[in-house]
Chain A
Amino acid sequence: MFDHGQPSYAEVNKDILSVMLETGPRYWMLLGTTMSVAVIFFFMPWFYQLIVGVGAAGMSRNAYWGTYLSNFIFWIGLSHSGTLLSAILHITNSPWRKSVYRSAEAMTLFSLMTAALFVMVHLGRVWFVHWSFPIPNQMGLWPNFRSPLMFDVMAITTYLTASSIFIYMGSVPDFAAVRDASTGTRRRLYTIFSFGWRGTAREWHTLGWAYTFFAVFVIPLAVSVHSIVSWDFALSIVPGLHHTIFAPYFVCGAIYSGTAGIVTVMYCLRKFLNFERYIGQVHLDNLGKLLLALSLIWSYINMLELFSSWYGGSSFELEALKFKLTGFYAPLYWEMILFCAFVPLLMFFRKFRWSWNKMLLISILINIGMLTERFIIVATSQPRKFLPNAFGFYFPSWIEISITIGSFAIFATMFLIFIKWVPAISIYEVKETLKPLRRDA
């Protein structure tokens, strides 16, 4: 599992904590850049949109949903990485997850936060967001729990809460390690964060049980979250969206893009935080195989979607299908098929799965394809409902494009802040993969 020899227990503490405790100018420059991009590309255009109204976006009377919602689905999808690696691989007792799961969980959390931001941006009058929460207000307007949008509110707030608790609880022993390695205010802060953790057998025992229960709760939650996101579309009667396959399609796509996202993040952690010792070939190879399997499932579901539209014989469905395959956005559709169905087949070959640079490229292409997929779902269906006189056309405005770019900077900013507050690799779980401290080891 370790490419450059097995480290000692003390070296694990030193290597992982040094990333947190020692900060060079390169980090500050990077953080400054991502924050600036986030402000200029995301917050300033959003502020402009708040002033002039949501009409500044490319949405119109026949296209009420646009890039903001496709980005929302994309970021929710990316969040499924942490759940897969952390919870499923924890339950199935896969030791290779231990070096990579903390960052995957962080991805989950920050992707969800970014997704939640897109709901705010899409709302227009964001100051009324509390109307969607299940609290009575002065207008007597209670949320309608029969609407999939309300399912979304419940599912995403639950997911956000559960993922925050999941990542926090797994980090408590490592917070104690930070406490022990630091002084002054940081020490006081991490004394609080670690709850006074000592690593007694009783504490480990309780954490083990609690963590397993968190995992057991989080897995069906993650499946429900993206199923519910799919129902935002599938429960409508819009041609191109009204498919029963949508829930598994969305869940599979989410795990697919999330796993590709992990490969990208792993590359950056390895390259820029010098974690070559902990994130090795075995992780890349396993992630590659996982991605390959997911790409095949994703391709199969895509074929099913096309088949059911064609076989159903509804003229509206056929028209939606024709527009998707040959209409204005057809190049994007075929780009998606190329990046998400064909390019991943390269991972059948070990030389691709074992090369960090090639895997980085494949992972980025997959996520470009997945971002496109979400755009196609929104842009090619809703503006072309039933009769031609109701047809509209959606094209994103510069504000939407800018906010989309800015969202990646927001995610990167949150991740950069995270690595200075939480050990990016789980210290105690990496130690579990080392030889035990026994005389005979």
Chain B
Amino acid sequence: MAIMGTFAFEEDFLAAAEKLQSSGFDNISLLSPVPLAEAQKVLGLGKSAVRRFSLAGAIIGALAGFALAAGTALVFVLPTSGRAIITIPPFLIITYEMTILFGVLFTLLGFHVVSDLPAWRDRPYLPAANIDRFVVVVEGAAGEQAARAEAIIRQAGAEEIHHVEEDQ
């Protein structure tokens, strides 16, 4: 079962999140209509792994770009006034473009992997979280733990509390 607490004010929402975190609830989600740096800090989110995807993509793209241009020149040889078949300056432009293309595509992949999207199942959510409310979600809590989580959320000043079956 998931417990969702709705808050009208940012500081109440963050207080609830901090209290839940310090009380040992580690399966919490913090939903907000805008990005909140403080909420990310509460969850201990530092540098994102997306950057590794971007770097890997850029390196793969650079190698692929140069290989494409050089490989093509070797397969279909176009001799021009005795100049080199593999000509570095123009091929660096192809390398540059492919570095960016693969960097962007891998960043996209990184976003999906790290944020766990697309979501293939319904997860606890309230549409108000996309308008003007902050929502704390405690997932996988049952029995006494659930009651404790609810008490913390209520104490922090939640407007409403919802109980949701997680496999809805």
Task: Tell me if chain B binds chain A.
Answer: yes
Contact A195 B73 (CB under 8 A): no
One of B104, B112, B118, B134 near A161 (C-beta < 8 A)? B104
- Pairwise interchain contact A180-B127, C-beta atoms closer than 8 A: yes
25 contacts between A and B (CB under 8 A): A142-B75, A145-B90, A146-B78, A146-B80, A151-B97, A154-B93, A154-B98, A155-B97, A158-B97, A196-B118, A199-B130, A200-B29, A201-B42, A204-B39, A206-B50, A208-B35, A209-B50, A210-B50, A210-B107, A210-B110, A213-B50, A214-B104, A221-B100, A224-B96, A439-B9
Q: Cβ of A199: which chain B residues have Cβ within 8 Å of it?
A: 31-33, 129-130
A165 contacts partner chain B, Cβ-Cβ < 8 Å = yes
**Contact yes or no, A180 B34, CB < 8 A:** no
A145 engages B94 (CB within 8 Å): yes
Tell me the A173-215 residues at the B interface (CB within 8 Å): 173, 176-177, 180-181, 192, 195-210, 213-214
Chain B residues with CB below 8 A from A209, complex form: 47-48, 50-51
Give the B interface residue count (CB, 8 A): 63
A3 at the interface (CB under 8 A from B): no
Please state if B107 and A158 are interface contacts (CB–CB under 8 Å): no
Across the A-B interface, give the 3 residue pairs with the lowest CB-CB distance, nearest first: A196-B119, A9-B132, A204-B35
A79-109: which residues lie under 8 A (CB-CB) from chain B?
Answer: none
Find chain B residues with CB under 8 A from A177 CB: 130-131
Contact (Cβ within 8 A) B130 A176: yes
Indicate if B69 sits at the interface (CB-CB under 8 A): yes
Does B54 touch A at the CB level, under 8 Å? yes
Within 8 A of A (CB), among B51-97: 51, 54, 68-69, 72-73, 75-76, 78, 80, 87, 90-91, 93-94, 96-97
Given contacts A146-B90, A207-B111, 19 further A-B pairs with CB under 8 A are A9-B132, A13-B130, A13-B131, A146-B73, A150-B94, A165-B105, A176-B130, A192-B118, A197-B117, A198-B29, A198-B129, A201-B45, A206-B111, A206-B114, A214-B104, A217-B104, A218-B100, A228-B93, A439-B9
Question: What is the CB-to-nearest-CB distance from B65 to chain A, in angstroms, rounded to a whole number?
Answer: 8
Q: Is B103 an interface residue (CB 8 A)?
A: yes
| B115 and A207 within 8 A (CB) | yes
Consensus secondary structure, chain B interface: helix
A180 touches B130 (CB 8 A): yes
Within 8 A of B (CB), among A334-384: none
Cβ of B131: which chain A residues have Cβ within 8 Å of it? 9-10, 13, 177, 180
Asked if B1 is at the interface of the complex by the 8 Å CB criterion, the answer is: no
A8 contacts the other chain (CB 8 A): yes
Tell me which residues across on chain A come within 8 A of B47, comparing CB atoms.
209
Given A202-B29, A207-B115, A210-B108, answer yes or no on A224-B97 (Cβ-Cβ < 8 Å).
Answer: yes
A145–B35 touching, CB < 8 Å: no
B23 in the interface (beta carbon within 8 A): no
In B99-153, the 8 Å CB interface with A consists of 100-101, 103-105, 107-108, 110-112, 114-120, 123, 125, 127, 129-132, 134
Binding stretch for chain B, among A122-130, A415-423, A430-438:
A430-438
User: What secondary structure prevails in chain A residues at the interface with B?
Assistant: helix
**A157 CB contacts on chain B under 8 angstroms:** 101
A388 within 8 A of B: no
Interfacial chain A residues near B80, Cβ < 8 Å: 146
Tell whether A213 pairs with B103 under 8 Å between CB atoms, given A134-B72, A202-B29: yes
| Residue from B34, B54, B87, B93 in contact with A431 in the complex, judged by beta carbons closer than 8 Å | B34
Complex-state Cα separation, A152 to B31, whole angstroms: 43
**CB of B40 closer than 8 Å to a CB of A:** yes
A217 → B minimal CB distance (Å): 5
CB distance from A183 to the nearest CB of B (A): 12
By the criterion CB–CB under 8 Å, are A217 and B72 in contact?
no
A220 at the interface (CB under 8 A from B): yes
Q: Which residue of B lies closest to A204 (CB)?
A: B35
CA A165 to CA B150, docked complex, whole Å: 40
Would you call A286 an interface residue if the criterion is a C-beta within 8 Å of the partner chain's C-beta atoms?
no
The complex places the Cα of A227 from the Cα of B33 at a distance, in Å, of 40
The reply to whether the CB of A169 lies closer than 8 angstroms to some CB of chain B is yes
Least CB distance, B51 to chain A, in whole angstroms: 7
- Confirm or deny: A65 has a beta carbon within 8 angstroms of a beta carbon on chain B: no
| Residues B36 and A217 in contact, CB atoms below 8 Å apart | no
Give chain B residues whose Cβ lies under 8 Å from the Cβ of A161: 101, 104-105
CA distance A10 to B35 in the complex (A): 16
Q: Is the CB of B9 within 8 A of A437?
A: yes
Q: Is the CB of A151 within 8 A of B94?
A: yes
In the complex the two chains form, is A145's CB within 8 Å of B72's CB?
A: yes
A162 within 8 A of B: yes
List which A114-156 residues lie within 8 A (CB) of chain B. Answer: 134, 136, 140-146, 150-151, 154-155
